[in-house]
Amino acid sequence: MKLRSLSLQLFRQHASSVVHFPDGLIGIIGSNGAGKTTILEAIGFALFGSRALRGRIEDVRTRFAQPKSGRGKKDQDLRVELTLEHEGVLFRIERTLSDAELYVGGEPKPVAAGNREVSARIGAIVGMSHDEFVATYCTEQKGLEFLSGKKGATEREKFILRMMGYDRLEQVQDLLRDDRKEKRSILSGYEASLGTREELEQRLVQEQQELVAVRAKHDEASAALKKGETDFGALRERMLKLEDLRSRHLREKEAVQALTVRKEEREKRLKSLADAQALAEEQLARALKPLAGGLGLEEALSAAKRRVFERREALVAATEAARKAELEWRETVSKARAERDSVSQQVEQLRTRSKRAGGLKAGSECPTCGQSLGDSFRQVQEHFAAEEKKLLKRQSDLGEALAAVSAEPENLVKLAAGQKDAEQSLKAGEAKLQELSACLQLESKLGEIAKERSAVLADLDLAQKSLTQAEERLTDLRFSEETYSKEKGAHDAAQRLVEVQRLQRVRLEGEVNTKEALVQRTKEDIVRFDERCLEVERLRREVRIFDECDRILTDFRKFVNSSIRPRMAELASEYLADLTDGRYSAVELAEDFTPTVVEDGEAKRVISGGEEDILNLCMRISLSHMLAERAGQNFSLLMLDEVFGSLDEGRRGNVLSLLEKLRKRFEQIVIITHLDDVKDGVQHMIQVEYDEGSGAAHVVAASEAPEELALALNV
Residue-level pLDDT at 496: 93
Pairing of strands 89-95, 14-20: unpaired
The yes-or-no verdict on residue 667 having pLDDT over 80 is yes
Cα-based torsion angle of the residue sequence 421, 422, 426, 427 in order, rounded to the nearest 10 degrees: -30
Most confident of 89-93, 592-596, 688-692: 89-93
Question: What is the per-residue pLDDT across 244-297, written as a single tens digit (0 to 9) for each?
Answer: 988 988 888 898 899 899 888 988 988 888 888 888 777 777 666 656 555 666
The confidence band for 343, taking pLDDT boundaries of 50, 70 and 90, is confident
> Residue 436 pLDDT more than 80?
no
- Mean pLDDT lowest among 31-45, 53-67, 501-515, 620-634: 620-634
Higher pLDDT, 540 or 140: 540
Q: Residue 32 phi/psi, 5° resolution?
A: -65, 135
Contacts of 80 (CB under 8 A, 6+ apart): 6, 7, 8, 9, 11, 42, 45, 46, 93, 94, 95, 96
Among candidates 566, 594, 585, 578, which has minimal Cα distance to 666? 578
What totals of helices (H) and strands (E) does the chain contain, helices first?
A: 14, 15
3 state SS of 372: strand
Distance, CA of 429 to chain centre: 96
Contacts of 556 (CB under 8 A, 6+ apart): 169
* Residue 165: pLDDT over 70: no
pLDDT at 535 over 70: yes
Q: Which of 477, 500, 621, 487 is nearest to 160 (CA)?
A: 621
Residue 560 CA to residue 172 CA, distance in Å, equals 15
CB atoms within 10 A of CB 285: 11
**Which range has the worst mean pLDDT, 352-356, 443-447, 628-632?**
628-632
Please, which residues have CB within 8 angstroms of residue 642's CB and are 6 or more apart in sequence?
Answer: 140, 141, 672, 673, 674
Q: Helix (H, G, I), strand (E, B), or coil: what is residue 380?
A: helix
Residue-level length of the chain: 715
% pLDDT > 90, the chain: 18
Contact 499, 228 (CB under 8 A): no
pLDDT of residue 375: 60
Look up the pTM and report it. Answer: 0.46
SS3 assignment, position 688: strand
* Predicted confidence band of residue 109 (pLDDT cuts 50, 70, 90): very high
Query: What are all long-range contacts of 241-245, with beta carbons under 8 Å and residues at least 24 apart?
Result: 242/483, 242/484, 242/487, 242/488, 245/477, 245/479
Q: With bands split at pLDDT 50, 70 and 90, how would you rate the model's confidence at 364?
A: low
pLDDT at 317 over 90: no
Across-strand partners of 113? 101
- C-beta separation of 435 from 262 below 8 A: no
Taking residues 354-367, report their average pLDDT.
Answer: 65
Sequence-ordered alpha helix ranges (H) in 77-129: 115-126
Torsion angle, alpha carbons of 278, 280, 286, 291, to 10: -150
Average pLDDT (654-681) is 80
- Confidence tier at 7 by pLDDT (50, 70, 90): very high
Beta strand residue intervals within 44-160, DSSP E: 79-86, 89-95, 100-104, 112-113, 138-140
Structure confidence at residue 94 as a pLDDT band (50, 70, 90)? very high
Cβ density class 293-306: b for 16+ within 10 Å, e for less: eeeebeebbebbee
Distance CA(270)–CA(261), nearest Å, equals 14
Give the integer Cα–Cα distance in Å for 273 and 279: 10
| Interval 354-376 mean pLDDT | 64
Confidence of residue 220 (pLDDT cuts 50, 70, 90): very high
- pLDDT score for 361: 60
- Cβ-proximal residues to 567 (8 Å cutoff; 6+ apart), any chain: 626
Identify the weakest region by mean pLDDT among 304-308, 324-328, 550-554, 575-579: 304-308
Pick from 52-61, 533-542, 623-632, 689-698: least confident? 623-632
CB hemisphere CA count around 709 (13 angstroms) = 17
- The dihedral through the CA atoms of 625, 628, 632, 633 has a sign that is negative
Tell whether the model's pLDDT for residue 713 goes beyond 50: no
| Residue 701 Cα distances to 118, 157, 312, 687, 688, angstroms | 29, 40, 158, 6, 9
Cα distance between residue 343 and residue 339, in whole Å? 6
pLDDT tens-digit map of 634-666: 667 888 887 776 566 776 776 777 777 777 777
Other C-beta atoms closer than 10 Å to the C-beta of 389 total: 11
Q: Which residue, among 610, 532, 553, has the nearest Cα to 192 in the 3D structure?
A: 532
* pLDDT for residue 167: 67
* All residues at 6 or more sequence positions from 253 whose CB lies less than 8 Å from its CB, including other chains: 474
Average confidence (pLDDT) over 113-124: 91
Q: Report how far residue 137's alpha carbon sits from residue 669's, in angstroms, rounded to the nearest whole number.
A: 10
Q: Under DSSP, is residue 485 helix (H, G, I), strand (E, B) or coil?
A: helix
Q: Answer for the pair 17, 8: CB distance below 8 angstroms, yes or no.
A: yes
Q: DSSP label at 61?
A: B
Q: What is the mean pLDDT of residues 83-93?
A: 90
Average pLDDT of the segment spanning 159-173:
72
427-456 burial string, b = 16+ CB within 10 Å, else e?
eebeebbebbeebeebeebbeebeebbeeb
Cα–Cα distance for residue pair 119/67, rounded to 1 Å: 28
Burial class (CB in 10 A: 0-12, 13-18, 19+), 107: exposed
Strands (E), 405-513: none
pLDDT bin (cut points 50, 70, 90) of residue 118 is: very high
Q: Which residues on adjacent β-strands are paired with residue 689?
A: 698
Which amino acid type is present at position 61? R
Question: Residue 672 — φ and ψ, nearest 5°?
Answer: -110, 125
User: Residue 708: its pLDDT value, please?
Assistant: 39
Q: What is the pLDDT of residue 711?
A: 38
Mean pLDDT score across all residues of the chain: 80
Question: 714 falls in which pLDDT band (50, 70, 90)?
Answer: very low
| Cβ 280 vs Cβ 442: under 8 Å | yes
φ, ψ at 23 (rounded to 5°): -75, 155
Residue 144 has pLDDT above 60, yes or no: no
Please determine, for residue 216, whether its predicted confidence score (pLDDT) is greater than 90: yes
Q: Residue 92 has what pLDDT?
A: 94
Q: Kindly report which listed range (331-335, 415-419, 473-477, 571-575) carries the lowest average pLDDT score.
A: 415-419
d(CA 584, CA 568): 16
If pLDDT is split at 50, 70 and 90, which confidence band does 369 have? low
Q: How far apart are CA 22 and CA 35, in angstroms?
A: 20
Least Cα distance to 79 among 3, 14, 1 occurs for 14
